Amino acid sequence: MVLLIQCLRAHRSGAHSRLGAGARLRRLLLGVARLGIVVLILAGHPLPVRGQAKDPFVVKAAFLCNFAKFTEWPAEAFSDAKAPFVIGVLGEDPFGSKLDAAIKGLELHGRPVVIRRFAGIPAPKEAHLLFVGADFVRKLEQLESELRGSRTLIVGDARTFAQEGGMIAFVERDGAIHFEVNLASADTAGLKLNSGLLKLADHVYKNPAKASNP
């Protein structure tokens, strides 16, 4: 867990301050992807594939923080200059305390970070990044309808989530964690995803729903 926190906060070091946003992003996300490898090597286990970890939600928590760091929100997404950055978890929470540990002491876009857990779809502006758990991930049309006009980055834990119009989807292949992006859906919400983030995605869809072409 210490390695995870170091990875998330690496951008605060002097060396990272000399790097451009794209280079910082590549270091941070590749560090996250290698987290499971480092932990398992220290534990004496054989070298796993890239992005593999004993607990995938440790890695996913780190990815959520980095998705937020490398996405730009318009000022209107926040009620005022001191409003916190809210990471929401919709439905059953698969993270336990792992997400809380990942954001401890973290600031995003100059704002403190808080986590809110929602039993139902939140109102617009209640969350800036919303992780959609398994019990809601198939309700994409309802999510889009109720969050229409909001500035919420919606991340789903399902292989087809981005292809069907969600903004970012976690995809697990061969025990490794990857992600896909629907750029059109993010653009529609007024969110700007860093080009380095897009380069790291397995696939970038450019149509807002049921995209089939990169």
> Looking at the domain assignment, is residue 46 inside a domain?
no
> Looking at the domain assignment, is residue 41 inside a domain?
no
Report CA Rg, the chain.
16
Q: Packing angle between helix 21-42 and helix 56-69, nearest 10 degrees?
A: 170
Interatomic CA distance for residues 202 and 196, integer angstroms: 12
> Looking at the domain assignment, is residue 115 inside a domain?
yes
> Looking at the domain assignment, is residue 42 inside a domain?
no
> Looking at the domain assignment, is residue 49 inside a domain?
no
Instruction: Give the domain extent around 180.
Output: 60-205
Structurally, the chain folds into a number of domains equal to 1
pLDDT at 144: 87
Per-run averaged pLDDT (10 residues), the chain, 214 residues: 40 44 56 40 30 78 95 95 96 95 94 96 94 90 90 94 94 90 95 95 81 44
pLDDT at 20: 61
> Looking at the domain assignment, is residue 141 inside a domain?
yes
pLDDT at 115: 97
pLDDT at 45: 30
Which residue in 131, 57, 56 sits closest to 95, CA to CA?
57
Q: Is the separation of the CB atoms in 121 and 146 below 8 Å?
A: yes
Continuous segment of H or E residues that includes residue 56:
helix 56-69
What type of residue is 86? Answer: V
The reported pTM is 0.76
- DSSP H helices, 70-158, are 98-103, 140-146
CATH number (domain holding residue 97): 3.40.50.2300
> Looking at the domain assignment, is residue 126 inside a domain?
yes
pLDDT at 24: 60
> Looking at the domain assignment, is residue 50 inside a domain?
no
